[in-house]
Structure 1
Amino acid sequence: MFSIFSSSPKTSPSESIYSIKINSLTGEPIDLSDYKNKYILFVNVASKCGFTKQYEELQKLYDLHKDKLMVVGVPCNQFGAQEPGTFKEIETFCKQNYGVTFLMTEKIDVKGANQHPLYQWLTKQSKNGNTNSTVKWNFQKYLVGKNGELIDYYYSITNPLNSKITNNLK
């Protein structure tokens, strides 16, 4: 069968995800190498989105697998201006409404001219060695393996507890 789509072969990443610098929601530096030997699920989040209720499932996923998984919420205001809050407003919203205890980063751009280096790595095969992608909307998810390799990405409609994600954590 002929397909117009060809998947590019996987290559070695040009840089390690563990060398990327990003700050926490409160401005403290995050050392991603602290999560070596754990899976990391990066999710661009927003407080005023139809998918915001996924915070609840993200917290459940984290609670179930925190021995081998770090969930990282990455606030972004690029889709429908659905994350307009300050770091304090975001922090309060997440804790009060969803009991979020997983890691939250500073608000960043996940696409465009000011795309943060983390999302450059997640979306560019030349950097991650796996695939190119585009962040389509809030709550798109990127799963990184225990050795820092990009495993896959999942669009917003994929619930955090979906077997497409959880089967990778076994």
Structure 2
Amino acid sequence: MRRLLFALLLAGLSTGVEAGAIGARFDSIDGEVYALEEWRGRPVFVVNTASRCGFAHQFEGLQTLYDTYRDRGLVVLAIPSNDFRQELATEAEVKEFCEVNFFLDMPMTMITEIRGEAAHPFYRAVRDETGFEPSWNFNKVLIGPDGEVVETWGATTEPLAPEVIARIEELLD
């Protein structure tokens, strides 16, 4: 299973949910494509987000994390999701909300399914490998430079929590 996740990360992923979507990619909120291959060799902190969630204040911590460590190689990837019915209706609304309220400039995808059989292939691979599936908004997955899941955290763990920072710093150049 570790090889499957690594293959998914290296090949890039998409918001498409068809079976075996190994060569797919994440579609960005700006209309571009994020191929995780571009981030090979770097840690990637993936967080499913929702603008109307009580944990939305964590956007501030995510941006601080990104600002602090991006020059050392960390990628923070926000994955807006409406799986828990707390996301705004359109990508344009999500982008505006995040920019106006939190000054976000980190990579962000289009609104993406993260749970169940319709989940994005990335989340299915994480679930299959580790048993971790987001149970709410602002769940976190830390992927190491080798493409393996290093750690997962739930919504109550803040992005700047000491345990998160320690794991990220272990992976940086």
Structure 1 and Structure 2 fold alike (TM over 0.5): yes
- The count of residues paired between Structure 1 and Structure 2 equals 154
Any residues of structure 2 matched to 1:1-170 within 5 Å, and which? 12-15=2-5, 16=7, 17-19=9-11, 20=13, 21-67=25-71, 68-79=73-84, 81-125=85-129, 131-170=130-169
Moved >3 Å (runs of 4+)? none
- Residues 72 and 138 of structure 1: is their aligned pair in 2 closer, same or farther, counting only changes over 3 Å? same
By percentage of residues, which structure has more helix?
Answer: 2
Q: Using the alignment, how far apart are the partners of 1:32 and 1:148 within structure 2?
A: 9
Gaps of 5+ in 1: 1-10, 126-130
Q: Using the alignment, how far apart are the partners of 2:103 and 2:89 within structure 1?
A: 18
Gaps of 5+ in 2: 14-24
Q: Using the alignment, how far apart are the partners of 1:35 and 1:138 within structure 2?
A: 24
What TM-score do you get using the length of structure 2 for normalisation? Answer: 0.85
**Greater C-alpha radius of gyration:** 1
Aligned to 1:124, what secondary structure does the other structure show? Answer: helix
Q: Does the 8 A contact of 2:142 with 2:152 survive in 1? A: yes
Q: Does the 8 A contact of 1:144 with 1:151 survive in 2? A: yes
Q: Does the 8 A contact of 2:117 with 2:124 survive in 1? A: no
Aligned to 2:101, what secondary structure does the other structure show? Answer: helix
Structure 1 residue 18 displacement after superposition = 2.2
Structure 1 residue 120 displacement after superposition = 0.9
Q: Using the alignment, how far apart are the partners of 1:112 and 1:133 within structure 2?
A: 12
Q: Using the alignment, how far apart are the partners of 1:163 and 1:41 within structure 2?
A: 15
